[in-house]
Structures are given as C-alpha cells and as structure tokens.
Homo-oligomer: A and B are copies of this chain.
C-alpha cells in the first residue's frame, strides 16, 4: 500500500463523568427497558427477510397509534422535524397556500419550511398568548384564505397547550383544505384519532410519549392526501419523497424497493415502542398520562407554583409549562434541579423562553412516583431561594 501523509492527528476524547439524569423535560424522555434492549438487537439489512418483517410490524403499529386504516403509513429516517418536512413538502405544492395558525415554535418552523418550497403562507395568532384556537377562529381563517392546507400543532411543547382537533378535518374539507397535524409530543399521551377526526397528514417522533430514541418519525397520510401525492407534479426532496418511501416500506405491495438504508437499532426500537403501546392500549396510555398530569398539577399547586397556561382546558398532559416565583432565574432553576436532584427539565422555548420551565412526564416517566418526585424536587429547589414556597 502507498504511504499517505496524515495532516490531522488522531483526537483524544476525554473520559468525562456523566451521571444519567431522570429525563423529565419536553423530550427526550427515558427509554422503556424493552426499548433499550431492542437497540442492541442484531443489525439487519435490506437483504434480510427480517428487515421487511420489522417494517411491516412498524406499519401496523403506527396505524394503531394514529388510529388510521390508511395504507400510506411508515417511519421517516429522521427526527420529528424530518416528519414535518415530509408532510409539508409532499402534500403542499409550490405556489399553493398553507394556513398556519401559530401559537408556538413548531408552527414557526412549519412556516419556514413551507416558504423554502415556494409555498405561500398565511397565519393567524391566538387572541391571548398560551391559549388555543377555537374552531370558529379557524373556520373564519379558512373562509378568508381558502388555503390548500391547514397546518396545526396538536400538543405544543413550547407553550404547554393542547389544540382541540376533533372534527377539524371536516371543517377543513368543507373549505377544500387538507389538515396537517404535528403530534410529536402528543402521540400516545393525548387522545388522537386520525381517521375519525379527518386528519390528512400527521407525523410524530419516537423520543416523547413512545419512550424511544429520536431519529425515526412515524408519518401517516389519509386516502385523500395519498391521492394528491400520487397525482402531484412537484417533487419533494429525495430523502422525504413519499412515493419512493411507500415503495421501500411496501405500503401497497411487496415492492422491496431500495431507497436508503434504514437504521437497524432505530427500527427495532420503534417496533418495541409501538408493541408496548399496543400491549398497554391507547386508552390506558392516554388515561395514564392524564391521571399523572392531574396528580402532578395538584401537587405543584399545593407547592405554590403557577401555570403558564391559564385555562385548564388548554393544558396538555404531556408537557407542563410552569412559571417560577419571582427572583428565580429560569435557566438557573433548571441547572440547580439537575445539580441537586439529577432531574432534567427544560427551560422555556420560543414564547415560553424566560417565562416558564417545561416539564414532561412522558412514556416511561408518566408515573405517580415520578410526578411526586419531580414536583417535590422543584419545590425544594425553589425553596433554596424562597423558603416560604417550600413550606406552603
């Protein structure tokens, strides 16, 4: 072999100490034990029958999780943002109008993405911050703008609000719009019925209520959305092209088409997440997240914390946004909770930056024990600065 002169020496990466925290931010949550185990299952390749078996298991698992009988259901090889870009770039053509009622950072990301594809964007905002949209407000905007699509975030982790989507599909369809929905933080934690509610395009992530790793994003499209994709003239990015992905995932037949190499550990992990969700059942998973949030909220109230979201009916179970007593810095509070209790919560983001901390009791961490532990630790840290809070 010829000799080659290296110009960059081998790096030495330090062995840092790292003490695993309890993951109670807006995500990622902690892994379910069965998911951690699945991550080390054998590598599989497109040449293995098992590769396609796992993909088939994932597809029925996603159909159950979204509650859809649609065939165009698969997992994109990327984060929730990859799911968002897949749904928007496949469903809305350049020059078409996307209406994005905006109440948090995900809506702003959707607007940014849409504009990159030459999609026109209109937006409305909530009458007050940290609330959700009424269907009357949405109908009025649909009537005014007549968009090709309405993009809405179901559970918005940047505000802690849950948008009512039940029946919104019918409303959109009356005005000729498709309904596109972000369920990244809500899927598996909050009731969501894709077919019954008339949702046309939905995407989620694995690292929230499913308690899996980030990097694989379930997506689903209704029959109407599927027809639009199959008759469209524009082309989305190769990596997100649902026409090609549908062949890779054998959505219609045994096509076994090679599009890109799926990540074995993430396939096994997502399969484990979805199997666990099916074992527990959606109604039980929803009820568990709801009951844990109710218990957590009651305990926080007893400690004297205030909710960023004023109207209880706007609050989501998955992620809670909390104001801190005056004098406590938000980033410092998050750091102290990590330092003193090894609990990881997340500071505010977008509209809640500098206005709240965000606590997620998701998936494996949606339990009464974790809820109590986090609420009490938060009171303790608040009490370091203001002892009157802790004793309330």
Nearest-neighbour CB distance to chain B for A4, whole angstroms, equals: 5
Which of A8, A109, A258 has the most chain B CB atoms inside 10 A of its CB?
Answer: A8
Interface centre among A45, A67, A216, A346 (most CB of B within 10 A): A45
A287 contacts chain B at the CB level, 8 A cutoff: yes
Cα(A68)–Cα(B4), bound, Å? 14
CB distance from A331 to the nearest CB of B (A): 10
How far, in whole Å, are A113 and B240 apart by their CA atoms in the complex?
11
- Which residues 100-124 in A have Cβ within 8 Å of B in the complex? 109, 112-113, 116
A191 contacts the other chain (CB 8 A): yes
Known: A36-B40, A213-B264. A25 touches B47 (CB 8 A): yes
Query: Are the C-beta atoms of B207 and A43 separated by less than 8 Å?
Result: yes
Residues in B neighbouring A2, C-beta threshold 8 A: 191
Q: Are B77 and A82 closer than 8 Å at their CB atoms?
A: yes
Q: Which of A26-34, A140-148, A296-304 is found at the contact surface with chain B?
A: A26-34
CB distance from A31 to the nearest CB of B (A): 6
Q: Interface residue tally of chain A, by bracket?
A: 35 or more
Distance between Cα atoms of A334 and B49 in the complex (Å): 12
Interface status of A259 (Cβ within 8 A of chain B)? yes
Beta-carbon contact of B7 and A259 below 8 Å: no
Is A61 a contact partner of B11 (Cβ separation < 8 A)?
A: yes
- Asked if A238 and B205 make an inter-chain contact with CB atoms under 8 angstroms apart, the answer reads no
Q: Knowing A61-B13, A260-B79 touch, does A266 contact B213 (C-beta < 8 A)?
A: yes
Q: Contact check, B28 vs A43: say whether CB atoms are below 8 A apart.
A: yes
Binds B, one of A131-139, A275-283, A371-379, A384-392: A275-283
> How far, in Å, is A59 (CB) from chain B's closest CB?
9
- Copies in the assembly, this chain: 2
Q: Kindly provide the distance from the CB of A333 to the nearest chain B CB, expressed in whole angstroms.
A: 12
A4 touches B238 (CB 8 A): no
Instruction: Map CB proximity to B onto A8-42 as digits: 1 under 8 Å, 0 otherwise.
Output: 11111100101011010101111100001001101
Q: How far is the CB of A353 from chain B (nearest CB, A)?
A: 11
> In the complex, which of the residues B4, B40, B50, B89 contacts A16, with contact meaning CB atoms closer than 8 Å?
B50
Q: Across the interface, do A13 and B213 meet the contact criterion of CB distance under 8 Å?
A: no
- The answer to whether A78 touches B67, judged by C-beta atoms less than 8 angstroms apart, is no
| Contact across chains for B89 and A213 when beta carbons are under 8 A apart | no
8 Å CB contact of A237 from B9, B31, B116? B116
Q: A369 at interface (Cβ–Cβ under 8 A)? A: no
The answer on a CB contact under 8 Å between A25 and B5 is no
Q: Report whether A28 and B264 are in contact in the complex, using a CB–CB cutoff of 8 Å.
A: yes
- A255 on interface, CB distance cutoff 8 Å: no
A5 to B286, alpha carbons, bound, how many Å? 13
Residues of B contacting A116 in the complex (Cβ-Cβ under 8 angstroms): 235-238
Residues of A that sit less than 8 Å from B by CB: 1-13, 16, 18, 20-21, 23, 25, 27-31, 36, 39-40, 42-48, 50, 53, 57, 60-61, 63-64, 67-69, 77-82, 85, 89, 109, 112-113, 116, 191, 193, 195-196, 205, 207, 213-216, 235-240, 258-266, 269, 271, 275, 278-279, 281-283, 286-287, 290, 334, 338, 344-347, 349
Q: What are 7 A-B pairs at a CB distance below 8 A?
A: A1-B287, A6-B282, A7-B67, A10-B279, A77-B214, A207-B261, A215-B262
Given A13-B275, A207-B263: 17 more A-B contacts, CB < 8 Å: A4-B283, A8-B64, A10-B282, A16-B53, A23-B45, A27-B261, A28-B43, A45-B346, A46-B346, A81-B238, A81-B239, A81-B260, A213-B266, A214-B262, A215-B262, A215-B265, A265-B265
